[in-house]
Amino acid sequence: MSAVTQLNPHSGFASRFERNIATRDPRWVKFLVLGLGLTFFAVFLLLPLVAVFVEALRKGWSTYFAALVEPDAAAAIRLTLLAAAIAVPLNLVFGIAAAWAIAKFDFPGKQLLITLIDLPFSVSPVVAGLIYVLVFGAQGWFGPWLSEHDIRIIFAVPGIVLATIFVTFPFIARELIPLMQSQGRDEEEAAITLGASGWQAFWRVTLPNIKWALLYGVILCNARAMGEFGAVSVVSGHIRGETNTMPLHVEILYNEYQFAAAFAVASLLALLALVTLAIKTYIEWQAGRVSLQEQLR
Amino acid sequence: MSSSARRVLPGFGLSLGFTLAYLSLIVLIPLSAVFIKAAGLTYQEFLDAVTDPRVVASYKLSFGASLLAAAINAVFGLILAWGLVRYTFPGKKIVDALIDLPFALPTAVAGISLTALYAKNGWLGQILEPLGVKIAFGPAGVLVALIFIGLPFIVRTVQPILEDLDAEFEEAAASLGANRWQTFARVVFPTLLPALLTGFALAFARAVGEYGSVIFIAGNIPFVSEITPLMIITKLEQYDYRGATAVASVMLVVSFALLLIINVLQAWTSKRQGRTT
């Protein structure tokens, strides 16, 4: 499942379509299209977003902040940050390694490898959690050995980290692979020929070329890592204050009918989503500017 | 000359080795556990688990609601993509940025928010319920949640194709006497079709596996509003690991089939693009 969240440095100049008589739609078509499209957008996307904040503040700011500093909520926030702090750097190193191997070298089975990297996106989050239960759970392959050595992976923090790594696995790699493939290998080869070491070529030549796509992948990876629900839910065991991430804490509060508190924690995650979209838009604008400059040169 | 002799850049062994090791440990070996464990079941056990009437009812809901949601999104996603590419209007940049909200907003947050909106006393529920339209805690709620998570897939696959579409095709059609509708139906739409189908397949694939945004609003009534991923969770909670594995293997096979279809559609899209631009 590629080509959806990929960095898209298109900058639309819509007015060119409206000035050209061959591509201009009648005014009533424009109003109909915008009316239908924006109504759909408002009802299905905007309203749910607004509702999160309205519900969160329904009982006032003091209830709102009380819900966020309460020990279980604080523990959930810490665990979410921890899981993301482990999963994102690991997938970053993987993304760079995979993109380097795929873009800079030729080897058989490359297309298959690219497809396999995208695999976690097409697996249901619930199945993503289940696979680690089957490997590390009490009934799983390593279950007896792990319990003998008193190591807990499922219903504990390692399982949550593993599930988070799985669901965010392709994010950074899939941003870097097409970009580095299109950039080719000439610049790095020139650097090596001029006496640079491999690392120098990477830090001074490759990295500046891929920095926006890298950052783009990292923020999308991070948003998903902090927000994952289904996969983490299967492996967590829902132990309050211990194995609850923020989304799981939201679920518990909601099921206990503590709606204001549930939406308060949810509003933090919604803020994270908005910040992610803002950074994403900024990067697209930057990347669009860079590609425009390159076209002008 | 062999390819290794031409190789100037270092790090092939290290990067490919790490890639393959990490991919195997995190993705391939754990995923294979589903099939290996499922293969350990007897044929009858497997058949009983995957054709249990409650599970079959969940397939019908999951696939039916996912298809319907993807179809609704295909229509409105195309309309939105058209509006974003072809017209200028105030607030356009914000609308464009917020289209990706379902990718960025955690599914559990979307789930409780949609439930609050469509419940009896919610903003939309209090309008719809007196009209006899019950959305939350039933199959219609599942549909609403799947529409929410699927919309960006359509917009983001159609939008770039529409942006790259050269005006000269429409100019040619107009100069040959076609009206706007004929130009759209015969010239523009066929160019967009591969991308639209790709977006449809992506939205459908995501919807079939979706869990977080659905379970809050679905009500999870057996035989009525239980989705297939929930059946896996339910079986796990009853310590029925064999049943959960059997249902998961069915879902994985469906996912792989959809992945294959999506790859074919994407190849078709890029071939189309190569020919028209």
pLDDT in tens, B157-185: 999 999 888 888 888 888 898 888 888 99
Q: Which of A18, A39, A56 is the last residue of a domain?
A: A56
Give yes or no: residues B75 and B205 share one domain: yes
Q: Which two tokens stand for residue B186?
A: 């015969």
Which has the higher per-residue pLDDT, B55 or A6?
B55
User: How many domains is chain B built from?
Assistant: 2
Task: Look up residue B130 and give its DSSP letter.
Answer: G
Give me the residues of A, 18-37, that contact B with CB < 8 A.
18, 20-23, 25-26, 29-30, 33-34, 36-37
User: Is there a domain that residue B86 lies in?
Assistant: yes
Distance, in angstroms, between A243 CA and closest chain B CA? Answer: 17
Contacts of residue A90, defined as CB under 8 A and 6 or more positions apart, other chains included, come to A165, B22
B229 and chain A in contact, CB less than 8 A: yes
The type of residue at B91 is G
One-letter identity of residue B44:
Q
In a domain, B1, yes or no: no
Among residues A35, A56, A77, the one where a domain terminates is A56
Q: What is the mean pLDDT of chain A?
A: 90
Whether residues B147 and B16 share a domain: the answer is no
pLDDT at residue A1 is higher than 50? no
Taking contacts as CB-CB distances below 8 angstroms, the residues of chain A near B19 are 94, 97-98, 101, 113
Question: Looking at the structure, do residues B36 and B52 belong to the same domain, yes or no?
Answer: no
ipTM higher than threshold 0.85: yes
On whether both A23 and A104 belong to a single domain, the answer is no
Q: Is the pLDDT of residue A6 over 90?
A: no
Asked whether residue B188 falls in the same domain as residue B215, the answer is yes
Name every chain A residue with its beta carbon within 8 A of the beta carbon of B125: none
Q: Is B33 found in the same domain as B63?
A: no
Answer whether residue B63 is part of any domain.
yes
pTM: 0.92
Which residues, 6+ apart, have CB-to-CB distance to B159 below 8 Å? A8, A10, B81, B84, B85
Contacts of A123 in chain B (CB under 8 A): 31, 209, 252, 255
* Boundaries of domain holding B89: 43-276
Q: Which residues of A234-248 are buried (b: 16+ CB within 10 A; e: fewer)?
A: bbbbeeeeebbbbbb
The count of C-alpha atoms lying within 13 angstroms of the C-alpha of A131, restricted to the half-sphere facing its C-beta, is 28
Report how many domains make up chain A. 2
The pLDDT value given to residue A11 = 47
| pLDDT exceeds 50 at position A35 | yes
Q: Are residues B143 and B162 in the same domain?
A: yes
